[in-house]
């Protein structure tokens, strides 16, 4: 679950569409259109078997979405 940093609305991962642009990973809050920054982390040391997790930088690990 992610939380909008502007309006504090909680969102399930299935409710928002994370995207990447030149500034990095983010999702747009469906309520207020606030851009919430995400960071991408690997969940394992092996790139072939690990997943990319999208995290809010200030939320407790490992509350991220397996993205691939």
Q: How far is the CB of 42 from Zn ion (least distance, A)?
A: 28
Q: How far is the CB of 43 from Zn ion (least distance, A)?
A: 27
Give the interface size with Zn ion as a residue count (CB under 5 A): 7
Which of 1, 24, 31, 42 is close enough to bind Zn ion by CB under 5 A?
31
CA-CA distance, 23 to 19, in Å (whole number)? Answer: 11
Q: Is-contact 45 53, C-beta < 8 A? A: no
Dihedral sign computed on CA atoms, order 10, 17, 21, 30:
negative
Q: Is-contact 21 10, C-beta < 8 A? A: no
**Residue 7 sits in the site that holds Zn ion (CB under 5 A):** yes
**Residue 1 sits in the site that holds Zn ion (CB under 5 A):** no
Which residue ranges make up the site for Zn ion (CB under 5 A)? Answer: 4, 6-7, 29, 31-32, 34
């Amino acid at each position: 679950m992610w939380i909008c940093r502007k309006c504090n609305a909680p969102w399930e991962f299935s409710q928002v569409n994370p995207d990447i642009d030149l500034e990095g990973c983010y999702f747009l809050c469906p309520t207020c259109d606030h851009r919430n920054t995400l960071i991408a982390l690997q969940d394992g040391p092996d790139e072939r078997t690990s997943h990319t997790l999208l995290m809010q930088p200030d939320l407790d690990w490992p509350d991220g979405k397996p993205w691939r």
